[in-house]
Amino acid sequence: MRPCALPGQQEEKNIVINVLKRLLRIDPTVWTINLVLLATAGFLQRFGLGLLDGARTNFFVDTLGLSGNQVLWLEGIREIPGLLLMFIAALTMRFPLSYRTGVAVIIMGVGYGLYAIVDSFTGLLAVAVLASLGMHLWMPLNSSLAMSLSPKEKAGSVRGTLNGIGSLAGIVGMAALALVTRFAGELPLSAYYIIGAVFIILSGFLILRIPPDVGATEVEPPHLLLSKRYWLYYLLTFLQGSRKQVLNTFGMLVLVDRFGLPVWQISLVLLVSSVINLIGAPYLGRMIDRLGERTMVTGSYIILMLSCLGLALIPDVRVLIFLLLTIKLFVTVGIGLETYVYRLAPPEELTPTLSAGISINHVTSVSMPLIAGALLPHIGYSGIFLGTAGIILISIPFALAMRATPIPQPKGVVPAEG
């Protein structure tokens, strides 16, 4: 006989569930069992990645003894699968969407787990490329799977909620990492890669439980697609790549290098950012559905541009932290580029179009940090952020050209609903 929960315990449980529903903006009419399964898998994956990210720098330097130059080479080489993604994804297009997504996550987890046993830089490069292959395959497939499980009019809300769940996983992961390092300080850093990999692999097996007919189309999807119909998406994702890694890399670096913030303060900034995104990302997703991609993406670009100008011109560390938190929140509106494609493309063109976008994005996201790093001694952080603001300014007129109206398809192809 199963014991009954005490009234007080049940009431506390209901309060927690209702608070999470409000924070994550969960609509019970949209969240099917398969979408909940995908969200659970996403939580486990982000939790595992959080453990890896927390240990990564110290693992590279303290355990493996890598030099700064070797870390730079590692970061560059591991992005090669992103550059080739549209061609790699074409080889797997015949398999069910959920199977491709689950296997990609498992490959990612296995790759990260192998970090724990490498003892040479060459071996590290090999497993890094394997993990990166899984991650880059997963990125467009996860977006396609999430949107295939969502009504078109709720796609932004669902993506925003999934981002919020990822932020929640990050918060839990950081708390777990802090507790483990506090009470098990002698645990080798390689152990975090094994533990994180287990969570990631488990998440992949959960995704494999999603029915194979999810995302299936009547028309066979093209293996490779570069169409002029999606030129605006390609251009905006190209420009997005130009500033993405610069903001990710140099945003926090300026706090450490220029203002000398210690590790615990940087960790606190990241924790606050995760909490803000937990609350804000689902709301921004709903606003994409309500106001449209054109309004939200344009508005986010204006806010990001002004924030970059502030980073370049304002020397106050408290203001800079506020601006970085603002940037980390509003970059999540980048999901609007994916929902834009979802609303106008026929289902069979969604995944190959998003895969092509990842490859195009990586052309600049790989090269720009190297260019910015070379220019940094000459123009300083202010020059880097002014240049980034200029790139975002160029993006704004193209964002204003977005129209999420289905483009007429060739005869015999049913257009996606708007």
Average pLDDT of adjacent 10-residue blocks, the chain of 418 residues: 50 52 61 88 91 76 74 76 80 85 96 90 91 90 87 83 86 77 71 91 95 76 77 92 77 77 74 88 89 94 96 91 94 90 84 85 78 81 91 95 62 38
Any domain includes 23: yes
pLDDT given at position 237: 92
Is 7 inside a domain boundary? no
Q: What is the DSSP string of 54-122?
A: HHHHHIIIIIS---HHHHHHHHHHTTHHHHTHHHHHHTTTTS-HHHHHHHHHHHHHHHHHHGGG--SHH
Here the tokens at position 229 are 């119909």
Residue 408 located in a structural domain: no
**Number of structural domains found in the chain:** 1
Q: Is residue 6 part of a domain?
A: no
Q: What is the CATH number of the domain that holds 349?
A: 1.20.1250.20
Residue ranges making up the domain that contains 362: 17-400
Q: In terms of Cα–Cα distance, which of 145, 154, 180 is closest to 41?
A: 145
Confidence at residue 157, expressed as pLDDT on a 0 to 100 scale: 85
The confidence score (pLDDT) of residue 415 equals 36
225 occurs within a structural domain: yes
Residue at 11 is within a domain: no
Q: CA-CA distance, 400 to 366, in Å (whole number)?
A: 26
Evaluate whether residue 260 is within a structural domain: yes
In a domain, 359, yes or no: yes
Q: What's residue 26's pLDDT?
A: 62
398-403's contacts with Cβ under 8 Å and 24+ in sequence apart are 398/232, 398/235, 398/236, 398/239, 399/236, 399/294, 399/297, 399/298, 399/301, 400/294, 400/298, 401/232, 402/232, 402/236, 402/293, 402/294, 402/297, 402/298, 402/340, 403/294, 403/344
